[in-house]
Amino acid sequence: MASQENNSERIKNARWASVYHPKIPLVIDIPNKDLATLFFENALENPNQPFIIFEGKTKTYDQVRKEVIKLANSLLELGIKKGDRIGLLMPNCPQFIVSYLSILSIGGITNAISPLYTPTEIEFQLKDSETTTIFTLDMFLDKVRLIRKSANLEHVIVTSIADELKPLKGFFYKNILARKNPKPNTSELCYKEIISKGLEKNIDVKIDAKTDLATLQYTGGTTGPSKGAMLTHFNLLSQVIAVDYWMEWIGGKLPGIKDRSLGAIPFSHSFGLTTSFMWPISVGGLIVLVPDPRKLESIMKLIQKYKIHFFMGVPILYQKLGEHPKVRKYDWSSIRGCISGGSALHKSTLDLFEGKTNALLVEGYGLTEASPVTHINPVDEKYRRIGIGIPIPNTLAKLLDLQTGEDIPNEFNKDGLTREGELCIKGPQVMKGYWNQPEETAKVFTSDGWLKTGDVAKMTENGFFVIVDRLKDCIFTSGYQVWPLEVEEVLCKHPDISLAAVIPIKDDQLNDRVKAFLVRSPGSPKHNSNELHVFCKQYLAPYKIPKVFEYREELPISPVGKILRRPLREENAESSALEKQTEKITL
């Protein structure tokens, strides 16, 4: 208790306190409430309020509540119990929401998996988390069948996008009918059937919000391979309540109108889960689902049709929308605010998007280990474009010296900035640790409980944080993390490649993309970009596949035989004169 009181006092006296909106408290009381209870309370309070719109089909809070209860009871009948890990391999669709909430209501631990993943990647996440049950769409069923036995899956529950479409309606309907998606076999369960057979009785499972896990959110972490961040109900609830205060600052509340959000960021991603799924639930809002955010005009049509208030996205999405030839054709006036996260938002992207749409765009920052949001820019014109902004309520941030690990003092240079250090976070949204990895957990926490982000930053005199660079080699592309080692290992599986090194490069919009340097096996041929792309596609999600492949005779090697990426990054940043001396294959 004394520690919490001390943290509260530090937050109230923090440098960023002076730029907070007067109606937003720096410290907020978070109830000890689980996320299922949060949903059920809002559903009972707003039974006839629209909750989900998917391809023109609306479901109210009460309709979803009944489906959640029936599915939850069916899961209990299957023998699934509190603490079991349950996978979800689906895009943003009504079944994801119902399944997720049902899992939470029985005290299960959700394990959302990107639909872009290959069977190898899906298998790793299932085995690492010891997941025994998975919900999936029929379009991904072949992937699941490939790894079901090796992943030790006991239950496979199958649904279809077509189940949630209006008859003969919907953007995807003709494509769904045309597809020859596999049907559930006798060893698999039909989602619709287990809901229809479920009892509509209250779920009596006791959940301790502060100690019980809600989700294993997989991430590259601040170092090493993918790890499951253990996020409790309290972690996520504290996040959505703090974010709600910020949303009120960004857009204000319109009397008599519920908040309408666009669910475009994948819910399998921590940014989408918290801001586009859990936060709307916390305010009894409406979520208009977008299963495929690559369909840009569809997004603009939905914003105009449903008069969307809030829209979360990654920088490249805002860039592409700003560049779209029809962007001015659509009405963006309902937008109260957009938040960008997942990677750095460049000023050129912000200016382009706001100039074309006249919609407010602010940058946020976070990491999966912090549920994920830790910082957001204020909306005041004077302050809203300073780095990643300031910490959200209940959150402390500081910088540690990169060599000594000591706190960096608040001493400012002529530009009003501290010297750089590693950004560290403390707050109720910070994870319990990594699943079954105590040693990796210890690496990202200081002895007094601060989470080390792995990012290098500076702080301004009034408490804004500016990211300088990433401490580790992680590549952020399209809002996702790509670890070079994983890509290098895949490339070296190719019989004609002996060595590989992967680095980030900038595209024309200054977004990070993946580049691979390759050394051939002796006597082997060079392969063109299409051949290499096809090979990588067997093992990697599309965003992890390099966009540029370049052959070299050799790669820089350390005295102990380790491939050095830094010289390649530095060289790549130099003039194109050196590039002309090498053979480059560009996708």
Give 17: exposed, middle or buried? Use CB within 10 Å, 0-12, 13-18, 19+.
middle
pLDDT of residue 563: 76
Q: What is the CATH number of the domain that holds 580?
A: 3.30.300.30
Helices (H), 252-308: 270-272, 279-282, 296-306
Task: With respect to residue 132, please indicate whether it lies within any of the assigned structural domains.
Answer: yes
Residue 86 lies in a domain: yes
Task: Give the Cα separation of 463 and 14 in Å (integer).
Answer: 7
Residue 190 in 3-state DSSP?
strand
Q: How confident is the model at residue 585, as a pLDDT? A: 55
Q: What's the pTM value of the predicted model, to 2 decimals?
A: 0.84
Q: Name all contacts of 201-207 with Cβ < 8 Å and 24+ positions apart.
A: 201/69, 201/73, 202/69, 203/36, 203/69, 203/72, 203/73, 203/76, 203/105, 203/106, 205/82, 205/105, 205/106, 205/107, 206/107, 207/34, 207/36, 207/37, 207/82, 207/107, 207/233
Q: Is 504 domain-assigned?
A: yes
For residue 575, the tally of other CB atoms under 10 A from its CB is 7
Beta bridge partners of 157: 135, 189
Start-to-end Cα distance in the chain: 57
The residues pairing with 137 across neighbouring beta strands, listed in sequence order, are 159
Question: Distance between CA atoms of 580 and 583, rounded to whole angstroms?
Answer: 7
Q: How far apart are CA 476 and CA 464, in angstroms?
A: 22
- 434 within some domain: no
My answer on whether omega of the bond before 372 falls inside 30° of 0, hence cis, is yes
Side chain identity at 204, as an amino acid letter? D
The reported pLDDT for the residue numbered 223 is: 44
Contacts by 156-160 with C-beta closer than 8 Å and gap 24+?
Answer: 156/184, 156/187, 156/188, 156/189, 157/99, 157/133, 157/188, 157/189, 157/190, 157/191, 157/194, 158/183, 158/184, 158/188, 158/189, 158/190, 158/191, 159/90, 159/95, 159/135, 159/190, 159/191, 159/192
Q: Which domain holds residue 513?
A: 475-586
Q: What token pair was written down for 11?
A: 């937050």
What letter would DSSP give residue 559? Answer: T
Given 143, 173, 207, the domain boundary residue is 207
Residue 3 falls inside a structural domain: no
Neighbours of 547 (CB within 10 A): 16
Number of domains in the chain: 2
Give the distance, in angstroms, between the CA of residue 411 and the centroid of all CA atoms in the same chain.
Answer: 34
Which of 207, 232, 258 is where one domain is finished? 207
Domain boundary among 178, 207, 236: 207
Would you give the DSSP letter of residue 26? S
> Would residue 384 count as lying in a domain?
no
Q: Give the Cα separation of 415 and 468 in Å (integer).
A: 14
Residues 122 and 124: their CA atoms lie apart, in Å, by 5
Mean pLDDT by 10 residues, the chain (587 residues): 72 93 92 96 95 96 98 98 98 97 98 93 96 97 96 97 75 54 87 96 94 91 71 97 86 62 93 94 95 93 96 87 94 93 80 94 94 92 87 97 93 94 97 96 96 93 87 80 83 88 85 91 89 95 94 76 77 57 51
On whether the CB atoms of residues 567 and 509 are closer than 8 A, the answer is no
What secondary structure letter does DSSP report for 525?
P
Q: Is 14 part of a structural domain of the chain?
A: no
The CATH number of residue 96's host domain is 3.40.50.980
- Whole-angstrom CA distances from 276 to 45, 58, 261, 265, 327 are 20, 17, 7, 7, 22
Let me know if residue 116 belongs to a domain: yes
Residue 119 dihedral angles phi and psi, to the nearest 5°? -55, -35
